[in-house]
Amino acid sequence: MDAIAPSTAEYRDRTEDYLVLESFFSRRRRALGPLATLAAEVAGLTETVSGFIQEHTATVCTACAKVCCINRHSYHETADIIYLCALGEKLPAYDKAVADTEPCQFLGERGCAIRRSLRPYRCNWYFCTPLLEHMQSASAREYRRFMGLMTELGRKREALLDIYGEAEKEQSSLLL
């Protein structure tokens, strides 16, 4: 199984994939220690930028007539599941009765019910034009700090996925 390769069904419930990956992680927890460290760093950085993002979404998103957060996007991708497993976290329970075009099943009156560091990657890092413009209106210092943290976060997430890919290749070669 090449867990990092994109699926033909980009948006879908990946509970079965989660179970396979959770088993892989539970069998190799010690060997995958660097993944847990990187995942914790990604989670910490995500929570650090959360306040800046929340400050702007609280203004922009509440006035929006067209909700970006639709249910189709609520599903975690395989890379998200690798990250969740490295953190030792569970996949949320999806309500399959919610239509893809409906507002996200995790969207409530006060925003997303999932802690920012556990949301699908696309949910955290999609900024519509009005939101992006509002964020850019912050002080230059605040915005530079935010962008620096986002860059660091992206690098760490990429490193986490690279290390996972190597561990998966190693596991596959042992099975041959």
> In the prediction, which pLDDT does 29 show?
80
Any domain includes 93:
yes
Any domain includes 103:
yes
Any domain includes 8:
no
Please state the separation of Cα 2 from the chain's center in Å. Answer: 19
Asked if the model's pLDDT at residue 176 lies above 80, the reply is no
Torsion sign (Cα): 160, 163, 168, 171: negative
Place of tokens 């490193």: 159
Any domain includes 122:
yes
Q: Name the residue among 30, 28, 25, 29 with its Cα closest to residue 90.
A: 25
Percent of the chain with pLDDT over 90: 59
Please state the separation of Cα 88 from the chain's center in Å. Answer: 14
Residue 100's φ and ψ, nearest 5 degrees, are -55, -35
Q: Name the residue among 62, 71, 68 with its Cα closest to residue 104.
A: 71
Percent of the chain with pLDDT over 70: 91
The three-state secondary structure class of 116 is: helix
Any domain includes 22:
yes
| pLDDT range class, residue 13, cuts 50, 70, 90 | confident
For residue 176, give Cα distances in angstroms to 51, 114, 170.
Answer: 48, 40, 10
> In the prediction, which pLDDT does 6 show?
42
> In the prediction, which pLDDT does 2 show?
45
Asked if the model's pLDDT at residue 149 lies above 80, the reply is yes
Classify residue 105 as exposed, middle or buried by CB count within 10 Å of its CB (0-12, 13-18, 19+).
Answer: buried
Segment among 53-57, 84-88, 102-106, 167-171 with least mean pLDDT: 167-171
What is the domain count for the chain?
1
Any domain includes 105:
yes
Asked if the model's pLDDT at residue 39 lies above 80, the reply is yes
Place of tokens 């970006």: 68
Any domain includes 6:
no
Q: Which residues span the domain enclosing 121?
A: 15-165
Q: Is 137 left (phi over 0), alpha (psi -120 to 50) or beta?
A: alpha
pLDDT digits (tens, 9 = 90+) for 69-101: 899 989 999 999 999 999 999 999 999 899 999
Any domain includes 3:
no
pLDDT digits (tens, 9 = 90+) for 88-147: 999 999 998 999 999 999 998 888 999 999 999 999 888 999 999 999 999 999 999 999
